[in-house]
Amino acid sequence: IRLSLVGSEMCIRDRYLLKLEFLKINNYRPFIVMMILYLILLPVSLLVAKSLPEELAAIFSTKEFYTFPNVWRYLGYIGNWLGFFFLGFMGLLSVTMEFSNKTLRQNIITGLSRKEYFFAKLIFITAISLIGTFYYFLSGTLIGLFHANPYYMDVYTQGLMFYISSYFLMSFAYMSLGLFFGMLVRRTGFAVFTFLAYSVFLERVIRGIHMYYIESRTALFYPVNAMSDLTIIPFPNIANTVISEMDFNPFLTSGEAIITVTIYTLIFLFVVYR
């Protein structure tokens, strides 16, 4: 009975913390805009391939984009790019707005412990990641069912759990990275600049130097690169061409990407907690 009471109290507390986080973003326009754009662009970015010229459509076999199980790969690949930008920024903004609006200080004054504040953020990014993953599943299912001819349940579920779990880890990792930069820098404008500067430019430069001097696959095990490799590139011909031209495989395996991203995510969250 005592364990049951403790469990129910924790559940009530978690719901309270999550509700508190959603109340904070309820009228925060940048966050709302990011969420809406993400929800619109995820399916639209895949469907826009229908408007490609016939020559390009033939090269990329766009008809395969929309059928099971290929839709999970293509939609996941698009979702990775969108996740980096939108989910990463959402994680960042969820922290920087606290410093701008003084809500972090107010939470502590009104009785929220620092540990509870951290767990509120953790629960929040988990909830957003779950919502994003469910939307990926829903979008892929609807697109696949609409284009399936014929429809087979075994094809629909082929690799589904792997793609869903990878997509959730990708979403959670990008939000954790945004949370890390938001807590580290704290000012919204500078935090956004730092996040983009590292992810788009600095890490690539470091990887290039690493590869030049060490010439090892260890250059692939950097956080943003590992997160991008969570979703397998859906164009095998292009990937094989890149590998043959470079005489080197520049992509992590699924197992390597999952383990690497999990370790980095734990490190980011640990630093945020400290």
Give per-residue pLDDT as tens, 48-98: 876 655 555 545 556 677 778 888 888 999 999 999 999 999 999 999 988
Number of Cβ atoms within 10 Å of the Cβ of 227? 26
Q: What is the pTM of this model?
A: 0.89
Ranges 2-11, 45-54, 137-146, 151-160: which has the least confidence: 2-11
- CB 139 within 8 Å of CB 61: no
Name the pLDDT band for 7 (thresholds 50, 70, 90): low
Sign of dihedral through CA atoms 145, 149, 150, 156? negative
Q: Write the CA distances from 155 to 16, 71, 115, 149, 159, integer angstroms.
A: 41, 11, 45, 12, 9
Q: Give residue-wise pLDDT tens across range 225-255.
A: 999 999 877 766 666 666 666 666 778 889 9
- Residue 241 makes CB contacts below 8 A (sequence gap 6+) with none
Quick one: angle between helices 88-101 and 2-25, nearest 10? 80
Identify which of 94, 235, 262, 109 has the alpha carbon closest to the alpha carbon of residue 173.
262
> Which residue's structure tokens are 């959603």?
22
